[in-house]
Structure 1
Amino acid sequence: MSEITLGRYLFERLKQVEVNTVFGLPGDFNLCLLDKLYEVDGMRWAGNANELNAAYAADGYSRVKKLAAIITTFGVGELSALNGIAGSYSEHVGLLHIVGVPSISSQAKQLLLHHTLGNGDFTVFHRMSSNISQTTAFIKDINSAASEIDRCIRTAYVYQRPVYLALPANLVDDLVPASLLNTPIDLSLKPNDPEAEDEVIQTVCEMVQKAKNPVILVDACASRHDVKKETKDLIDATQFPAFVTPMGKGGVDEQHPRFGGVYVGTLSKPDVKEAVESADLVLSVGAILSDFNTGSFSYSYKTNNIVEFHSDYIKIKNATFPGVQFKFVLQKLVKAIKPFVKDYTPVPVPTLKLINSPHSPQTPLTQEWVWTKLSSWLREGDVVITETGTSAFGIVQTRFPNNTTGISQVLWGSIGYSVGAALGAVAAAEEVDKEKRVILFVGDGSLQLTVQEISTMIRWGLTPYIFVLNNDGYTIERLIHGEKAGYNDIQNWDHLALLPTFGAKVYDSIRVSTTGEFEQLTQSAEFAKNSKIRLIEVMLPTMDAPLNLVKQAQLTANTNKQQ
């Protein structure tokens, strides 16, 4: 074909960048566009239960494959997705938000259409999204439409942020040259300014040479902006102790001999806290210094010698180098740094003790026991998703196998995020490696916000492990305020009935209440196989929580009371 429709062009481009599943919901302004998806071999329309869940799913998909797409309809659909899109923006997750909008003629005539505010303003929702998008495009001219699509896809991938793309209903059937598909979208980073880059590398090497007790601290953007390999190479080249933040979990292989644990300011284990805070040089990779990620801003470095490596700038002490990207800097630093660390003698790193105290098989489960025991069940390549709440804090004390992907939403913290994200992650994992396991940990309260997306998992035959931590309501909220308050209570569900209710035919629904039941489950070779969708209800005491969450809740409560 010499020409193809603009709608097909969009989906061909997404396929070229390995976005094979598209999330969202149909609406009358995007129906003609959705027709075109089925013209592209290998593309899957997920068909979500609602737009918010679709946005969460796109977020989870992108965290596995580095880019995702969601399609909503104008007004009611796109606004329903914005909470999820905002979370992707705050946490550096690349996705393309495609909105089917009314035809250009309808906009020009300012028709009083449904899904509008009734005032003839067809740009208001676009303006809303512009505040949580790296860039936006509102297609109006078929001659520039293809290049705008390419620009949006590139921007979402390179900057790892959401991008808003509005497609009028009348343009999706217009034709563009098919030959445009022959030139791949350039997803490469532009080179750094050589002088600025050289100055950064020289300065860092000089600081490293003088340091006696340096550490490397890895945060979320190391994973988001794809420098996990460069970070590992830096650890290997220097042999400095390496630590991660809660959001950075999975950014460093935790079986690495130089891995020392998770640093969360005052909430850290004492030996980790001492190791990081006594350093005379901190090499920080991809930091996102939010309250829950830093123990309510309780970092207490004893040094001003801090180098922050970011995706689009470097900060050395008080000097900032804008536009200098950490991927290229880290690659060159690894090659340059060896002569400057030749006199460094590696110091011991803190070790994580994973031995549970002796117990009877009838011992009731506790958070502390479950998160410690989990370390021995996870395997290399797993994708582990934890909900904001006890799960996101508990997973900090679990030691990951190598090449484990950790997904949590510590900064944005939207309750219910993890269920939608698990759908996206398991769809992406299936496309990457059918043996890859996706394991979700979600509280019984959080589950109730987004439970419908389990039906989408079943629809596509996806096989995640869904661990429902049943502690009778919103425990994280109870810890912050209102332990006995009715607003932290929820209606108790029959969790074991959820999978068949949503139509599952091949599944496991299991309840565990004791350490013996949990151990028997995790020691089962059949249970370890990624062969069916499973829901495991884990019964826990209402006010039982990981110790670091208890402390964080106290800090948060005090912050909320401050004037």
Structure 2
Amino acid sequence: MKTTIGEFLIDRLKAIGITEIIGVPGDFNLSWLEQIEAADGIRFVGACNELNAAYAADGYARQRGVGALLTTYGVGELSAINGIAGSRAEHVPVVSIAGAPPQYATEYRWNLHHSLANGDYTNMLDAIRPFTEVATRIFPMNAVEEIDRALRACLREKRPVHIQIPSDITHLEIEAPPFDAELPGSDSERRQAAVRKILNLFEAAEDPILLLDQDADRHGFLPLLREFGIPYAHMASGKALLDERHPLCLGTYNGEASSPGVRERVEASDLLITFNPRFIEANSGSFTHNLPEEHVVNIGDQHISMDGEFYVGINSLEVLADVAAALPERGSVGTRYSPGPFEPDADAPLTQARLWPQIGEFIREGDVVIAEAGTSNIGLGPIRMPDGVQYINSPIWGSIGFTLPALLGSQMAAPERRHLLFIGDGSFQLTAQELSTILREGLKPIIFLVNNRGYTIERYILGMEREYNDVANWRYADLVEVFSPGSSMRTYQARTEGELAQVLADVDGAAFIELHLDPFDAPAGLKAFGPATAEFDFGPRGPRNP
């Protein structure tokens, strides 16, 4: 079938489930934007800048399984690269597309705007290549094979890819073959051997445990893992992947900083099933983790390692389905975790110690909870989420400001779900403009802004009272009216537990809730994390807080 290159790319994006492309227009991508405008079933959503657009595409991908980002050559691509790198670190599939200078201009090395004016048109791809699974510039003769190669790699590897499309080729015709994005099936002998081995290990084990991290979600394993019926723990970077209130949930494994009893149970397991865990200082108790390697079965999407043997050439979803079907049903395992009722002290000022349990009662099954790095993520860490909660954060890359644009992308991809964002004032100031896009799009999140007048997590690492950890104290709630006069999003302020209780009772629909806390208050986990980070970062002779 004949089609144009631009329409071919649009059809491929629609085929993998994308209905919104998030980005910033620029002269080199306008020709393709015109084709998007003319297409059915897909639209362009403009963000305030390219970095925010990259964050939003990441949030979108966490709902839909893949997201799409559009920038322009050079200035746009490089502005987005931090967000793309975050998607790479967090294993989130994003298709990044950049309008590039005309093909003839790059081939003849013309000096153009948005370049270094030296005729080099390889440097942008070279810059972005380390953070993507595929980075390519397409031409009429390779467009089909390169676009399909990039999309398959994005979906298979759960990594971002980057495609440059020259501005003068979008309307050229090509032949479009059918597209199949399915992961190939397993080698039958390797599949059967892996299943037999895992079932034998289960039969011999007395205390099998699942240890969940991000890849269990990214590769679609979770529905099958629910059928295993065995105890599970999650890493801090895998929070709420399975129901945290289920009787089988042990809690968080984080080395010496684990939930009570979890470290002992995990490290003594005689069958520990992991999913490519990636230990950094923040999710390992400063590298105090000690998994029983001789009893570990590690499962990736295309490989399994166990008992000194590596099984390759397999689709692990098929292996897990076989194992789940063959495991015997397990009986009742106890009672669900149920948090005690929170009794607000009406006149007591908000404190970190009591704020998060009070917030925990507001979170309900099926919510999307988005937690900014630092105070919000650490404060929510001990709160056991109800069943069906999706918890979005950036525990490995940790770029502050990520969550507000990620909220935009996530709620566009799943507008039927209630979205709760928890973000500090310092982080909010980095990407605050995207609140205007959220309002323009008519989305209805509930945003909790933790106003403690600065970078609390940085204060506890170093500079408790230093000016470099302060931020300007904006009138945050007024921004809703500034960005969208007459908006239906309601705004609230809370300084006491009683005021917050009233706000939580009143909220029905889109809301912006400013929480006022002492600048020097912090969750217990952060108070421990800060000094440990200073010890790790600065060495024995480095500075410390008094």
**Shorter-chain TM-score tier:** over 0.9
Instruction: Determine the structure 2 residue equivalent to 1:224.
Output: 218
Q: CA deviation at 1:439?
A: 1.0
Instruction: Determine the structure 2 residue equivalent to 1:288.
Output: 278
* Paired residue secondary structure (1:380): coil
* Paired residue secondary structure (2:38): coil
In 2: Cα distance, 1:109 partner to 1:473 partner: 51
Whether contact under 8 Å (1:496, 1:510) holds in the other structure is yes
Instruction: Determine the structure 1 residue equivalent to 2:530.
Output: 553
Instruction: Determine the structure 1 residue equivalent to 2:151.
Output: 153
* Aligned with residue 491 of structure 1, among 472, 479, 487: 472
1:386 aligns with 2:385: no
* Aligned with residue 294 of structure 2, among 295, 301, 304: 304
* Paired residue secondary structure (1:466): strand
Write the mapping of 1:267-282 to structure 2, written as runs, cut at 5 A: 267-282=257-272
* Paired residue secondary structure (2:436): helix
Whether contact under 8 Å (1:295, 1:552) holds in the other structure is no
Q: CA deviation at 1:418?
A: 0.7
Whether contact under 8 Å (1:8, 1:36) holds in the other structure is yes
1:86 aligns with 2:85: yes
In 2: Cα distance, 1:352 partner to 1:396 partner: 16
Whether contact under 8 Å (1:287, 1:310) holds in the other structure is no
Structure 2 unaligned blocks of 5 or more: 541-546
In 2: Cα distance, 1:485 partner to 1:44 partner: 46
* Mean CA deviation greater in 207-216 or 192-201: 192-201
In 2: Cα distance, 1:489 partner to 1:335 partner: 56
1:366 aligns with 2:360: no
Going from structure 1 to structure 2, the CA distance change for 1:206 and 1:552 (only over 3 Å counts) comes to: farther
CA deviation digits over 1:96-153, x for unaligned, max 9? 110111111101211110111122110111112111111122112x243133222222
Instruction: Determine the structure 2 residue equivalent to 1:134.
Output: 133
Write the mapping of 1:409-558 to structure 2, written as runs, cut at 5 A: 409-430=394-415, 434=416, 436-504=417-485, 505-524=487-506, 527=507, 529=508, 531-532=509-510, 534-558=511-535
1:262 aligns with 2:252: yes
Going from structure 1 to structure 2, the CA distance change for 1:267 and 1:486 (only over 3 Å counts) comes to: same
Instruction: Determine the structure 1 residue equivalent to 2:544.
Output: none
* Paired residue secondary structure (2:238): coil
Counterpart amino acid of residue 168 in structure 1: P
In 2: Cα distance, 1:414 partner to 1:25 partner: 20
CA deviation digits over 1:366-418, x for unaligned, max 9? 22322222332222221111011011112222222222111000000001111
Whether contact under 8 Å (1:221, 1:285) holds in the other structure is yes
Whether contact under 8 Å (2:244, 2:384) holds in the other structure is yes
Going from structure 1 to structure 2, the CA distance change for 1:313 and 1:358 (only over 3 Å counts) comes to: same
Q: How many residues align?
A: 539
Q: CA deviation at 1:522?
A: 2.1
In 1: Cα distance, 2:472 partner to 2:311 partner: 53
* Mean CA deviation greater in 304-313 or 225-234: 304-313
Backbone CA RMSD of aligned residues = 2.1
1:195 aligns with 2:189: yes
Q: CA deviation at 1:256?
A: 2.8
Instruction: Determine the structure 2 residue equivalent to 1:210.
Output: 204
In 2: Cα distance, 1:315 partner to 1:471 partner: 46
Whether contact under 8 Å (1:93, 1:160) holds in the other structure is yes
Going from structure 1 to structure 2, the CA distance change for 1:359 and 1:139 (only over 3 Å counts) comes to: closer
* Paired residue secondary structure (2:118): coil
In 2: Cα distance, 1:557 partner to 1:355 partner: 35
In 1: Cα distance, 2:446 partner to 2:361 partner: 16
Counterpart amino acid of residue 521 in structure 2: D
* Mean CA deviation greater in 102-111 or 537-546: 537-546
Write the mapping of 1:1-40 to structure 2, written as runs, cut at 5 A: 3-40=2-39
Whether contact under 8 Å (2:94, 2:160) holds in the other structure is yes
Going from structure 1 to structure 2, the CA distance change for 1:348 and 1:252 (only over 3 Å counts) comes to: same
Structure 1 unaligned blocks of 5 or more: none
Going from structure 1 to structure 2, the CA distance change for 1:34 and 1:404 (only over 3 Å counts) comes to: same
* Aligned with residue 354 of structure 1, among 339, 348, 353: 339
Whether contact under 8 Å (2:95, 2:154) holds in the other structure is yes
In 2: Cα distance, 1:468 partner to 1:499 partner: 13
Instruction: Determine the structure 2 residue equivalent to 1:118.
Output: 117
Counterpart amino acid of residue 556 in structure 1: T
* Mean CA deviation greater in 553-562 or 25-34: 553-562
In 1: Cα distance, 2:433 partner to 2:380 partner: 25
* Paired residue secondary structure (1:268): coil
Whether contact under 8 Å (2:372, 2:422) holds in the other structure is yes
TM-score, normalised with respect to structure 1: 0.91
Whether contact under 8 Å (1:267, 1:551) holds in the other structure is no
Counterpart amino acid of residue 431 in structure 2: T
In 2: Cα distance, 1:17 partner to 1:307 partner: 31
Whether contact under 8 Å (1:95, 1:156) holds in the other structure is yes
TM-score, normalised with respect to structure 2: 0.93
* Paired residue secondary structure (1:29): helix
Going from structure 1 to structure 2, the CA distance change for 1:360 and 1:371 (only over 3 Å counts) comes to: closer
Instruction: Determine the structure 1 residue equivalent to 2:543.
Output: none
